[in-house]
Amino acid sequence: MIMESHDSSTTGSQEMERIGQSKESGVYLGWKNLWVMVQDKVAGRRPILQGLTGYAKPGEVLAIMGPSGCGKSTLLDALAGRLDSNTRQSGEILVDGCKKALAFGNSAYVTQDDILMATLTVREAVYYSAQLQLPRYMSKSEKMERAEATIKEMGLQDAINTRIGGWGVKGLSGGQKRRVSICIEILTRPKLLFLDEPTSGLDSAASYHVMSRIIKLAQQDRRTLIASIHQPSGEVFELFHNLCLLSSGRTVYFGSTSAANQFFSSNGFPCPPMRNPSDHYLRTINQDFDVDIEQGFGEKTSTTEVINLLVESYKSSENYQQVQQSVYDIPLQNVGSVEKKGIQKSGFITQCLVLTKRSFVNMYRDLGYYWFRFAIYIALCLCVGTIFINIGSDYGSIQARGSVLMFVVSFMTFLAIGGFPSFVEDMKVFTRERLNGHYGVAAFIVGNTLSSIPYLLLISVVPWSNGVLLCWPTKRYTSLRLLRVDAFRLHDISRKPNDACRKRVV
C-alpha cells in the first residue's frame, strides 16, 4: 500500500516545486520487520537484528545510535545490501516503495575502516576517484574542480599534498583519513549515502564541521543520509532529524531527535540538565557493564530491565504505529521513481587508463611491491654468482648449470610472495570501490595488468641474466654463452664436454 503524504492545504505550485525537486532528490528507504541472523560456529544461530522497522527520507539525516556491538553496522550493511555470506536476512527493504536493489552508483557507503591507497596524496586519491566516477560528459578540468572543492569542503586543503600513509609509513592522521574516505564517496553526490562512524577519530569541532557540511550538501539536493554514530557532541546531535536507537539488535526508540527526550522522560529517565542528550540515552541503555551493577557498584535497577522497559514502551507507543505506517507512506514525488540504471559514469577506456596510471604510481612508490624484490634478486644473484663462479665446462658443470636454473626459477617463484601484502591492500581498495560502483572487474584487471608489465619485465631481467653475473669475470667463458651451449649442444657436451664448449665459445 502506498499512501500520499501531502496534506490538502498544499498548493499546486508547492506541489510542482516538490515534484521538480524530486528529479534530483534522494530515495525514500523503508524497512519493515528486518531480521538478521548469523551462523556462529561457537554460539550457533543467533539474531543480530530483531525485527527492526524504520525509514529514511530525502533531505533528512537518520542517525543510528546505540552501544558498541548493538548492530549499527549490521543495519547499515543490510540496508545497503552488503551483508556477509554467513548471515541470513529476512523482512522487507523498500526503495521508493519498491522491493528493488539500488543500481550501482546511486548509493555510496563510507565504511568504518578507511581503505585507501597509502602511497597517494590526498589530491591524487580524490582526483583519480573523480576521474573514475564522474560522468564522461564532464571535462577533466571540471572533474579536477569538483575534487578540489570536495577536499576543501572536508577541510583538507592544508593536507592536500600529503601522502595518505599506512602500515610503516606515517602520513595523514586517522581523522584526516576519515575525511578523505568521505570525500571520495560524496564526489558524485549520491542519492543515498551510508556513513558508518563518520566522526570516529575526529575532535568535536572537526566532527561538527564535517557532519554539518555533509548534511548541508544532502539538504541542498534533498539526498538521503543514514549515519551510524557513536558519541555525537550536543551540537552534532542537533543536526540529525531522526534517531534510531538500538540495543542488542532491538529498537529502543525510532523517531525525531527532538521527541526522544520526551520519550525517555515519560519512561522515568529524564535527561539531567546540562547533559548531552545522546550521552544520556547511551548511558541509560548500555548493559556491557552490568556485572559491576550486580556486584553492587552501580544502579539498583539492572540495565537489561531498563532496556526491556523502554523497548516495550516504544512498541506500545503511538509513535511506533506511525513508524510502521511511514514505511509505506512514500512522498508523492518518490512514488515509482526508483531508477533502474545507475548514474552515468566515465567510459571503460578512461577507467582502464586511470587505473593503469594509478596502479603504476602506486607500484612505483610502494617499496615492498617491486623494489624490495628487485634488491633481493640482485643480492641473491651476487651470492649465487659467487658460489658458481668459474663454473667450468666439464661434464659436472652441466649439473651445476641445472642447479643454477633451479635457483633462478625458485627465487622468482618464492619472492613473488613479497608482493603479496601490497596485492592484498590493492584488493581491499578494489572491493570497496567495486561495491560502491566506481568501476567493474574488467577495468581493474586491465589496469593492474598493464601497469604490472614494465615492473615484471624489469625485475625478471635480473634473475634471468644471472648467468652473466655468475661467471663474470671469467677468463674464457661467460655463463650466458655456456647456458646457450647447454641448451642447444647438450648432446655434444655430454660426449666431449671440453672440446664442444671450446669450439662454441672461443
Q: Which residues contact ligand ATP (rule: CB under 6 A)? A: 38, 40, 48, 66, 68-74, 84, 86-87, 230
Cell digits of residue 445: 584487471
Q: How far is the CB of 207 from ligand ATP (least distance, A)?
A: 16
Judged by beta carbon, residue 63 or residue 70, the one nearer ligand ATP is 70
Grid coordinates of 77: 550493511
Beta bridge partners of 47: 37
**Shortest Cβ 66–ligand ATP spacing (Å):** 6
Least Å distance, CB 443 to ligand ATP, is: 29
Q: Which is nearer to ligand ATP, 276 or 390 (CB)?
A: 276
Q: Which residues pair with 54 in a beta bridge?
A: 31
Nearer to ligand ATP, 18 or 230 (CB): 230
Give 48 or 132: the residue with its C-beta nearer to ligand ATP.
48
**Distance, CA of 506 to CA of 501 (rounded, Å):** 8
| C-alpha torsion sign, points 26, 27, 32, 36 | negative
Residue type at 458 in one-letter notation: L
Preceding peptide of 198 cis, ω within 30°: no
Least gap, CB of 324 to ligand ATP (angstroms): 23
Nearer to ligand ATP, 253 or 411 (CB): 253
- Nearest partner of 175 among 131, 122, 220, judged by Cα: 122
Between 87 and 319, name the residue whose CB sits nearer to ligand ATP. Answer: 87
Which among 301, 313, 201, 337 is positioned nearest to 252, based on CA atoms?
313
By beta-carbon proximity to ligand ATP, the closer residue of 117 and 229 is 229
What is the CB neighbour count within 10 angstroms for residue 423? 12
Neighbours of 77 (CB within 10 A): 22
| Pick 31 or 128: Cβ nearer ligand ATP | 31
Q: Give the sign of the dihedral formed by CA 176, CA 180, CA 185, CA 189.
A: positive
The region, left, alpha or beta by phi > 0 then psi within -120 to 50, assigned to residue 443 is: alpha
- Residue of 115, 30, 36, 26 whose CA lies nearest to 73: 36
48 or 183: CB nearest ligand ATP: 48
From the CB of 327, what's the least distance to ligand ATP, in Å? Answer: 21
Sheet architecture: strand order including 242-247: 107-110, 192-196, 224-228, 61-65, 242-247, 250-256
Which residue number, 129 or 248, has a Cβ lying nearer to ligand ATP?
248
Smallest separation, CB 28 to ligand ATP (Å): 24
Closest approach, Cβ 129 to ligand ATP, in A, equals: 25
Tell me how far apart the alpha carbons of residues 95 and 330 are, in angstroms, rounded to a whole number: 10
Report in angstroms how near the CB of residue 90 gets to ligand ATP at its nearest.
16
Query: Residues 402, 403, 407, 410: is their CA dihedral positive or negative?
Result: positive
Q: Which CB atom, from 147 or from 229, has the smaller least distance to ligand ATP?
A: 229
Residue 231 is classified by DSSP as -
Q: How far is the CB of 21 from ligand ATP (least distance, A)?
A: 33
3-class secondary-structure state, position 268? coil
Q: How far is the CB of 408 from ligand ATP (least distance, A)?
A: 44
Q: How far is the CB of 267 from ligand ATP (least distance, A)?
A: 22
Contact 96, 27 (CB under 8 A): yes
207: amino acid identity, one letter: S
- Cis preceding-peptide flag for 473 (omega within 30 of 0): yes
| Residue among 230, 191, 192, 189 nearest 213 (CA) | 189
